Amino acid sequence: MDRRKFTQFFIAVLLITAPPSRAQHKADVRTANQLRDIIYYLASDSLEGRRTGSEGERKAGDYIINFYKERGIGPYKDEYRHPFHFIYGKEIVETTRIKIGNNTLDLKNEAFPLSFSATKHVSGDILPDVMEDGSIWMISLYADQDEANNVHFDAEKAMFDRTRDAQKHGATGIVFYDAYGSKWPPSFNGLSTNESVDIPVVFLSHIAYKKYVPAPDTFGADSTKPKAGLVADLDITIKKTERIGTNIAAYIDNKAPYTVVLGAHYDHLGRGEDGSSLYSGTEPLIHHGADDNASGSAALLEVAAWVKKHKKLRHYNYLFINFSGEELGLLGSKNFVKDEHIDSIHTAYMLNMDMVGRLNDSTHSLELGGIGTSPAWGTLLEKPNKEFKISIDSSGVGPSDHTSFYHEGIPVLFLFTGTHKDYHKPSDVADKINYPGEVEVIKYVEEIVKKMDTEPKPHFTATKQTSLGKVNFKVTLGIMPDYSYQEGGVRVDGVSENKPAKNAGIKEGDIIIQLGDIKIQGMQSYMEALSKFKAGDKTKVTVKRSGQQMVLPLEFLK
Ligand SMILES: [Zn+2]
């Protein structure tokens, strides 16, 4: 049988044997079809996974803006596009030169600086495996042929650890080299989380090593001393990569004192270039992000069109935000809140939809987050819901953009139909979406928006933050670090109740720069510092607050 016919046959069988679905109104069918159009477009190959700052993100943004325009929903503060600048990863600046002897090496095939290298210029004699105080060291990356052929050997970690050690012993620069011809040589990793060191560090490929570095015995009898003639000249500049993402915001101004924010992120992982992909193949593939979060983006558009049409909803203003940069650490929502001065005085509540397209038809499970952020949400749940088996999470802090609003003291609500095996993989595609199921989610959101429009501005309540990272230490400080912060130190995004940080007086927005004797450059040194303490230890923590340094006494709980 021909494959196309087989499909037709298969559909026919399905139609006959499928159980009678719940009676759907014509309007629901229309909504499901519209959702299908939007999600198929946003998750299509032509948008290439909607990576933040990419052409695909721009196309998705155009589509979203067009939708708002067609429904007569105007822009927020005169512009639909609200761009934000951010720093993500590192890159090699073109002026970088690596010279061995008189040869300038090709930065593609012969040598490259490590992403944790200092931006610095040094030159001096080198000789393989000679390590003297005050000179550039030349170190064989692999101990032997076996190590060079070991796919599990973590070259970057090995080089980072040795660099830190070499730095302590007076090396002024390091040239790592591959003497064995590894099948898996390292390459420049701009996303490395290793913090910068104080000396230039480069890697020499096997080809370059053979081509430019003479065998030690040709240096003469006393091969332990570097000779003039083999000079390394390392002029390295590494910079942080600056990028631009764009939030899309539309607004219905009812001249009301308070505004309701409805949001969903529309960015996704592109081809996985920025990390956080769970795809294990080697060939880069488009991550379609149909559920994550074309589903929420489409739902937001449908809800916006409904709010616009529903003339009775006039007690609040309505702000619809399609965030970008979510996958890189809630960057779009953080920047929007900051740049547009979103505050708890003018904002009634924020409702966020992230991954609402995979309602399971047998469990009907819907997760509601942020329930603890306002007593108003409790009354919502008193009425039993026929469509969903609702599981609740009280915390205002979660893995999506509502978190940025919760940190401003705004009640939040987060809707999510649950995770699945296609999560953050290229296989999160449009034909796996449960369209009638998503229509039910949208109707539920509309029900909430409608009910809340008749209620006074909801009160905010802070929630307990339970999970603060997966790493197990003997002690905890009780902060939520800002993982996107890259300007030195650890920026505090949230502080847990009754934990050492809170007791010491650390506040949201503080930058931790020293813990005990250890200077904190970033997350890595923060984790290392934390691992040195045990329960009951007393020490001091230094923070920067509004440019001022403060030293606070700190006690780890028993
Ligand atoms: Zn995601």
For 88-109, write each residue's pLDDT tens digit.
889 999 999 999 988 999 998 9
pLDDT of 215 strictly over 80: no
Summarize pLDDT for 253-270 with one digit per residue, the tens: 999 999 999 999 999 999
Nearest CA to 490 out of 475, 505, 477 is that of 477
Percentage, residues of the chain above pLDDT 70: 91
Q: What is the pLDDT of residue 217?
A: 56
Residue with tokens 């935000």: 321
Going from the Cα of 378 to the center of ligand 1, the distance in angstroms, rounded, reads 28
Going from the Cα of 271 to the center of ligand 1, the distance in angstroms, rounded, reads 13
Going from the Cα of 328 to the center of ligand 1, the distance in angstroms, rounded, reads 9
Going from the Cα of 103 to the center of ligand 1, the distance in angstroms, rounded, reads 46
Q: What is the pLDDT of residue 503?
A: 92
Going from the Cα of 114 to the center of ligand 1, the distance in angstroms, rounded, reads 29
Nearest CA to 415 out of 508, 485, 352, 350 is that of 352
Percentage, residues of the chain above pLDDT 90: 68
In the chain, the amino acid numbered 339 is: D
Cis peptide before 434 (omega within 30 of 0): no
Going from the Cα of 410 to the center of ligand 1, the distance in angstroms, rounded, reads 23
Going from the Cα of 14 to the center of ligand 1, the distance in angstroms, rounded, reads 32
Summarize pLDDT for 397-450 with one digit per residue, the tens: 999 999 999 999 999 999 999 989 999 999 999 999 999 999 999 999 999 999
Average pLDDT over the chain reads: 88
Residue with tokens 């769970």: 278
Q: How far apart are CA 157 and CA 193, in angstroms?
A: 11
Q: What is the pLDDT of residue 521?
A: 82
Going from the Cα of 258 to the center of ligand 1, the distance in angstroms, rounded, reads 30
Q: What is the pLDDT of residue 523?
A: 77
Q: How far apart are CA 406 and CA 371, in angstroms?
A: 12
Listed range (14-28, 126-140, 329-343) with the worst mean pLDDT: 14-28
Going from the Cα of 265 to the center of ligand 1, the distance in angstroms, rounded, reads 9
Mean pLDDT, residues 202-210 taken together: 95
Q: How far apart are CA 538 and CA 506, in angstroms?
A: 15
Going from the Cα of 329 to the center of ligand 1, the distance in angstroms, rounded, reads 10
Q: What is the pLDDT of residue 225?
A: 45
Mean pLDDT, residues 66-91 taken together: 96
To the nearest 10°, report the CA torsion of 132, 133, 134, 138: 40
- Burial 90-120, CB ≥16 within 10 A → b, else e: bebeeebebbbeeeebebeebbbbbbbbbeb
pLDDT of 471 strictly over 50: no
Out of 62-66, 87-91, 122-126, the most confident range is: 62-66
Going from the Cα of 34 to the center of ligand 1, the distance in angstroms, rounded, reads 23
Q: What is the pLDDT of residue 28?
A: 94
Q: What is the pLDDT of residue 226?
A: 44
Tokens read off for 478: 């009780």
Tokens read off for 194: 């290793």
Q: What is the pLDDT of residue 151?
A: 86
- Which uninterrupted H or E stretch holds 220? none
Residues within 5 A (CB) of ion ligand 1: 292
Q: What are phi and psi of 94, to 5 degrees?
A: -60, -25
Going from the Cα of 288 to the center of ligand 1, the distance in angstroms, rounded, reads 11
Going from the Cα of 517 to the center of ligand 1, the distance in angstroms, rounded, reads 38
Q: What is the pLDDT of residue 465?
A: 56
Going from the Cα of 336 to the center of ligand 1, the distance in angstroms, rounded, reads 19
Q: What is the pLDDT of residue 1?
A: 43
pLDDT of 345 strictly over 70: yes
Going from the Cα of 327 to the center of ligand 1, the distance in angstroms, rounded, reads 5
pLDDT of 5 strictly over 70: no
Rounded to 5°, the CA angle 486-492-496 comes to 150
Q: What is the pLDDT of residue 227?
A: 47
pLDDT of 119 strictly over 70: yes
Going from the Cα of 50 to the center of ligand 1, the distance in angstroms, rounded, reads 12
Going from the Cα of 110 to the center of ligand 1, the distance in angstroms, rounded, reads 36
Going from the Cα of 522 to the center of ligand 1, the distance in angstroms, rounded, reads 24
Going from the Cα of 424 to the center of ligand 1, the distance in angstroms, rounded, reads 6
CB 400 within 8 A of CB 261: no
Q: What are phi and psi of 501, to 5 degrees?
A: -60, -50
Mean pLDDT, residues 371-384 taken together: 86
Going from the Cα of 379 to the center of ligand 1, the distance in angstroms, rounded, reads 30
Q: What is the pLDDT of residue 13?
A: 34
Going from the Cα of 293 to the center of ligand 1, the distance in angstroms, rounded, reads 7
Going from the Cα of 400 to the center of ligand 1, the distance in angstroms, rounded, reads 8
Q: What domains, with CATH codes, occur in the chain?
A: 74-84+242-452 (3.40.630.10), 94-236 (3.50.30.30), 479-555 (2.30.42.10)
Mean pLDDT, residues 472-479 taken together: 77
Summarize pLDDT for 284-336 with one digit per residue, the tens: 999 999 999 999 999 999 999 999 999 889 999 999 999 999 999 999 999 99
Mean pLDDT, residues 115-119 taken together: 95
Going from the Cα of 292 to the center of ligand 1, the distance in angstroms, rounded, reads 5
Going from the Cα of 529 to the center of ligand 1, the distance in angstroms, rounded, reads 30
Going from the Cα of 269 to the center of ligand 1, the distance in angstroms, rounded, reads 8
Q: What is the pLDDT of residue 7?
A: 37
Going from the Cα of 239 to the center of ligand 1, the distance in angstroms, rounded, reads 27
